[in-house]
Amino acid sequence: MENIGVAVGIVIDDHAEKIENVLMSDDGTGGGIRIPSMLISKTDGQILLDWMNKASPSDRQQLVVMAEFVMAFEQGNKVEYDFWMTSSSNRALDFIEDFKEFQKKLGENVIFTPHYVFWECVGCDKRYIETDCYGGGKYCAVDPSNPSIQGREIVLEDLRQKCLYNSLHKKGQTNIWFDYISRIHTTCYSVVNENCSQWAHKHLNLAW
């Protein structure tokens, strides 16, 4: 049987920290990555770099990297899945809008949880922090491909969506959250501001 090599991107953390607490994400330009990618700790990365620096060309040709992705499963009949996003991402909103009908059919057999990505930029200039951040730069949002909306509006909508999800999830009405996402995306595309959110709340008979 012929061995087929698969390209894998290995990203080495440049900080000495617990890799389990680090979320691997990008600045919004990572959509062009078409190979599996993983993040490893600075210590493990240094081992690889040291070996690469000392290895001969022949050794490097024989190098084989094996990766195992271990996931812990709890007993039960429900599938849990998480989705990382931001309210200014057309791709994320497209996916949720398209997946809405599948989610409704799956019903109580799955547990869906949305998560929202923020950036920290404490050392950024004052003007950037005032338009795109909260908490003095601790919570920022920016979308270079979406100049029609400021980062602060993105952060606020992300918070609205998360609060709405938490409220509806407790009532067993997660499907309404999908209706909300579909409504704002159809109406406002990826420029979801307070007025758009208020209109969607009113349309779905949700308390503002």
pLDDT tens digits for range 97-117: 999 999 999 988 899 999 998
Q: How confident is the model over 27-74, as pLDDT tens digits?
A: 656 667 778 888 999 999 999 999 999 999 999 888 888 777 676 666
Domain boundaries, the chain: 9-61, 79-203
Residues 6+ apart with CB under 8 A from 17: 41, 42
Pairing, β 110-116 against β 9-12: unpaired
| Confidence bin at 2 (pLDDT 50/70/90) | very low
Task: From residue 2, give the alpha-carbon distance in Å to each of 5, 8, 99, 105.
Answer: 10, 19, 38, 42
CA distance 89 to 141: 11
- What is the pTM (predicted TM-score) of this model? 0.72
